[in-house]
Structures are given as structure tokens and as C-alpha cells.
Structure 1
Amino acid sequence: MANFLPGLIMGFREGLEAFLIVVIILQYLKKSGNITFMKNAFSGALIGILASVGIGGILLFISKSIGKTDELTKLWESSSSILALILITTFIYWMIKHGRNMVTEVQTQVKTNLSAIGIFSITFFMVVREGTEIAVFVFAGKYLLLSIFLGVATALIFCILIYFSLVKINLKILFNVTLVYLIIQAGFLLGYGIHEGLSAFHSLNIISSSSPLLIKAFDLSKTIFYHKEGIIGLPLYILIGWYSKPEIIQFVAQYSYTFILLFIWHKEVRK
């Protein structure tokens, strides 16, 4: 459960973004009388999905190849978390700045690239971008594959219903809620990456047990705030990536990152 709900939301959020872009492209092509290019949009989306699966397979292969010792596993988890953080931060920032005008921006790209290869390329790159983020998140955040799959599948069904006008929903509110959760999960990845990195460096004797980097901000692991089993700690871990015994540097970095991005998002929303 601890990794299921975040994985489900993550898969839904990224899948919704990718499939909704495809829906916008298809609807524009249909309304503008360019239905001959719709097959190129479908092809781009399909190849993008396959490419994303391929990237996930490569990450899985690397993970299994590297993860032969506890230290290497921790280094891999730390580095993959930071990689995921870099990718997702650029995406979050783009969404904060341009998410409100996503429909207009996608339609503009379609207008200026109205050709078979143009439509294919737009759809492919937008889908593979989201797919790559999902693939990296799966291995960096240890989300369950089943939860990711269910999230993506739910997003696909949802977008099909939107395409055929069978459901109407305020996408602005939906995107805002899921974007906030994405920011919180990105902060969790930063904290997780720092924690695993410090643990690996300590195991490899790169940093000593007396290093200031290993000083804990607090220790609530024997209370109800224990992030693995505590009645309060476990839900907080699922919702906001709470740790009951974080290093000071982990705690400060994780929540500083989260609050800075939430502040930027809040300012943008109020414009």
C-alpha cells in the first residue's frame, strides 16, 4: 500500500498528460478536416509507448546488472532518484508556466507541423517524454509496476471518454491537484536520493559514522510517526514522503525543494 497509491497517482498523472495531448491533436485534425493525418498521430503514440517500454527495459537491465551488492544498489537508487528529479523538475516547471495554455500550445504546434512526419513527431516525442518519466520514476521511487499500469490504464480510459465527449470534467482543477501531488513526490525523490546516497557512501567508508552529514534531524521511529508502520507515519509516508528518522540535509533539502516549487506554482496560479 505504501508504494501502491503514489504509483497509481503517478501513472495516472503522466498517462493523462500523454493521452490528453493525443486527444487534443486528434480533435484538432478532425475539426480542421485533416483526418488523413490521424493515422500518423496514432502511429506516433504507439511507437512512443513502445519506446517508453524499451527505456524501462534498459533501466531494469541496468538495475539488475548493478544491484549485486548493497552498496552498489544504494548508489544506483540514489543516482536514479536524482536523474528522475532532474527530469521531473523540468516537466513540473514547464507545467507551472504553460499548463494553463496546453491546448493552445499543442494546437499551435500541430498547425506549424501539419504533415505526416510532423504529426508523427509531435505525438511521438510528447508521449515518449511522459513514458520516460514514468520509467525513471518506477525504478527511482520503487513504485509497483501494477500500480503504475493501473494508473496509466485509467488515464487511457478517461481520455477515450473525453474524446467521445462521454465525460466532462474541469481539467484545470484535476491538473492542479495532480501537479501538487507530483511536486510532493518529486521532493520525496530528492530526500530518498540523498538518504540512499549517504547510506552508500557510509557503507563504502567514504564518509565516517561521525560525519555531520549523517546527523539526524529527529528520530520518531519508535512512535506512531514511524514511516513504515506508524498509524500516522505510514499515511504521511504515502501522501508526502514522510521519513521518521531523516538526516538534517535530507530533511532540509526535501522540504525546501517542495515548498519552493509549491510557492512558484501558487504565484503562477494567482496571476
Structure 2
Amino acid sequence: MFATYLIGLREGLEAGLIVGILVAYLGKIGRRDLLARLWIGIGIAVAVSLGVGAILTWGPYALTFQAQEILGGTLSIVAVAMVTWMIFWMGSHGATLSKELRSQVDAAVDRSWFAIVLLGALSVGREGVETALFVWANVAGGDEPVLATIGAVLGILTAIAISYGISKGLVRFNLSLFFTWTGVFLVFVAAGVLAYGIGDLQEASVIPGWGAPAYSLTSVVQPGGVLDVVLGGIFNFTPEPTWAQVIGWVLYVVIVLSLYLGMLQRRSRAHARAVAPQAPVGPADPAASVESSTQIRSTP
């Protein structure tokens, strides 16, 4: 439940920030008449996300066991790929997110009336589909479906409340620190989903090695015990993984975490150089101060 809550919270905050930037910019340029179209696009994104979740939940029941395992393993790997991309994308584009979205709005305003609808649908739909797919993959890995769904919904509701508070100036929230550390946490969650997906493919005989565990931790983590339930629900932990699952988990964590921490280090150095004391070259620009306040800070 905690893992799905965090997924819902993180993705919800990303979507909330995007919506807030789009709405604020349309108001700034005096095109509030386009807000209805934007909300239509956002509504389409929400409907598509719910549809994806419904298909993932009930669609596989008509398939054979082997087909279900192949589908589950494949979608788990796709979910890992999407959340990995999301972690790196937010880490590298967070500081320029506001500028990029405003450029997209400017381009959409000059096009057909449907461009704003499409912008809203694509901007928010990506977050929604990622949430649906990754929550499903986490639930399929052994988390209690009802609790996992409640966790995701609570996370999204929390994100909505925080996003509203930020837009109204009621909440001060270190978004950079939040996205940085949740990124690290989600690397380990995604590694567990990857291991689960590999296990599904092994059960379907797509990958060999099922039924031959690399080691057993059942003496420490008893199956069905509290620790097993907690670790399984958050990290898709299994006390008797196969060698393919162990290798996949280790390689993913080592490679992705190293790249992610390296990116954070380079970003921190670039920020330090950017804010280094410089000789004043003229009067302060008030517009620049307002501009910087709408962006996500790029360092923790």
C-alpha cells in the first residue's frame, strides 16, 4: 500500500504541477477562454488512464495461464521501463518544465482549436498511464489489490491537495528534495517489479530456470509473515528468487542507481556554478524573479 501511495503521490504531483503551469500561463497571456478546452483534454487523459487500469485488471482473465504469465511479465517490464524513463526525465527536465510547457502552449494557441485539447490530454495522460501500469504491476506482484488501490487513490488525492496549496501559496514544499529521494526509492520498487516480471516469464517457460531458487531466506522471512507481506507489498520481495531474478534485480539497481546518482551530482555541480557570486551588471530584473519562482528547483 505504501508503494502504491508513493507512486500515486509522485505521479499526481507531476500532473498537478503540469496542470497548474498550463492554467496559470493561459491566464497570464489573457486566454482564459481556452481553459475549457484544456480541461476537456485533461478529462480525456483521466478517462484513458482509468480505461487502461480497467483493461489491465480484467482483460487477462480470458487468457490461458501461460498467456497471462507472458502478458504479466511483459507488462511488468514495460512498467519498469516507463517509470525508469519518468525518473530520469523529471530529474533532467524539472528545472525547465515551466518554460517547456509555456512554449507548447504558445505553439498550440497558434494552431487549431483542438491543439489545446491535445496538449492537455498528452501532458496529463502520460502521468496517468504510467500510474495505472506501474500500480497494476505492483499489485500483480503480490500486493493486496484493495489496499494497493486505496493507497494509489490516497496518494493522488494528497497530490491534488498539495498542488492546490502550492498554486494558492498556502503550502511550501521542497519539490526537488521530494522528487530526488522518491526517485531513489522507486529504483528499488522498479527492481522488484522487474524481478517479478522475470519470474512470470520463467513460469511461462519463456525464460528458463523457474523452480530452481538461487537461495532461500524462508528461515528469516517466513512466507505469509508480517515481514514477508510488508517487503512483498512494497518491493515485490520473494524469499526464494531464481538466479535470473537475482541477476536482473542486481543489474537494474546497480546500473540505474549509478546513472541516477551521477545525474544528480552533475546537476548539483551545474547549479553551484550557476549560482556562484558574480559581479552585478545592471539593475535587478523583476520579471526574472517571477519567472524563477514558477520553476522547479533543480537541486535538493
Q: Would you say same fold, with TM above 0.5?
A: yes
Of residues 222, 239, 242 in structure 2, which corresponds to 1:247?
A: 242
Alpha-carbon deviations, 1:94-114, whole Å to 9, x = none? Answer: 223323322222222223322
Residue 90 of structure 1 and its aligned partner are, at CA, apart by 2.8
Find the aligned partners of 1:112 and 1:190 in 2 and give their Cα distance.
Answer: 38
Find the aligned partners of 1:267 and 1:230 in 2 and give their Cα distance.
Answer: 35
Contact 1:227 1:236 in 2 (8 A): no
User: Could you say which residue in structure 1 is the equivalent of 2:50?
Assistant: 53
Find the aligned partners of 2:256 and 2:231 in 1 and give their Cα distance.
Answer: 19
Residue 195 of structure 1 and its aligned partner are, at CA, apart by 1.3
Contact 1:81 1:140 in 2 (8 A): yes
Find the aligned partners of 1:34 and 1:14 in 2 and give their Cα distance.
Answer: 27
Find the aligned partners of 1:40 and 1:235 in 2 and give their Cα distance.
Answer: 43
Find the aligned partners of 2:15 and 2:102 in 1 and give their Cα distance.
Answer: 15
What is the total number of aligned residue pairs between the two structures? Answer: 257
Contact 2:203 2:210 in 1 (8 A): no
Amino acid at match of 1:77: G
Q: Structure 1 unaligned runs (5+)?
A: none
Q: Secondary structure at the match of 2:127?
A: helix
Does the alignment pair 1:145 with 2:149?
A: yes
Residue 172 of structure 1 and its aligned partner are, at CA, apart by 0.7
Contact 1:226 1:234 in 2 (8 A): no
Alpha-carbon deviations, 1:111-162, whole Å to 9, x = none? Answer: 3322543332222112111111122123322152222111112111221121
Amino acid at match of 1:56: G
If you compute each CA radius of gyration, which structure gives the higher value, 1 or 2? 2
Find the aligned partners of 2:182 and 2:114 in 1 and give their Cα distance.
Answer: 32
User: Could you say which residue in structure 2 is the equivalent of 1:195?
Assistant: 199
Q: Secondary structure at the match of 1:113?
A: helix
Residue 60 of structure 1 and its aligned partner are, at CA, apart by 2.7
Find the aligned partners of 1:226 and 1:126 in 2 and give their Cα distance.
Answer: 44
- Please list, as runs of the form range in 1=range in 2, the aligned pairs for 1:86-105 lying within 5 A after superposition: 86-105=81-100
- Please list, as runs of the form range in 1=range in 2, the aligned pairs for 1:69-88 lying within 5 A after superposition: 69=65, 71-88=66-83
Q: Structure 2 unaligned runs (5+)?
A: 267-300
Find the aligned partners of 2:202 and 2:17 in 1 and give their Cα distance.
Answer: 39
Contact 2:8 2:131 in 1 (8 A): yes
Give the stretch that moved more between structures: 39-48 or 71-80: 71-80
User: Could you say which residue in structure 1 is the equivalent of 2:61?
Assistant: 64
The normalised TM-score by structure 2 is 0.77
Find the aligned partners of 2:96 and 2:189 in 1 and give their Cα distance.
Answer: 24
Does the alignment pair 1:129 with 2:129?
A: no
Does the alignment pair 1:163 with 2:167?
A: yes
The normalised TM-score by structure 1 is 0.84
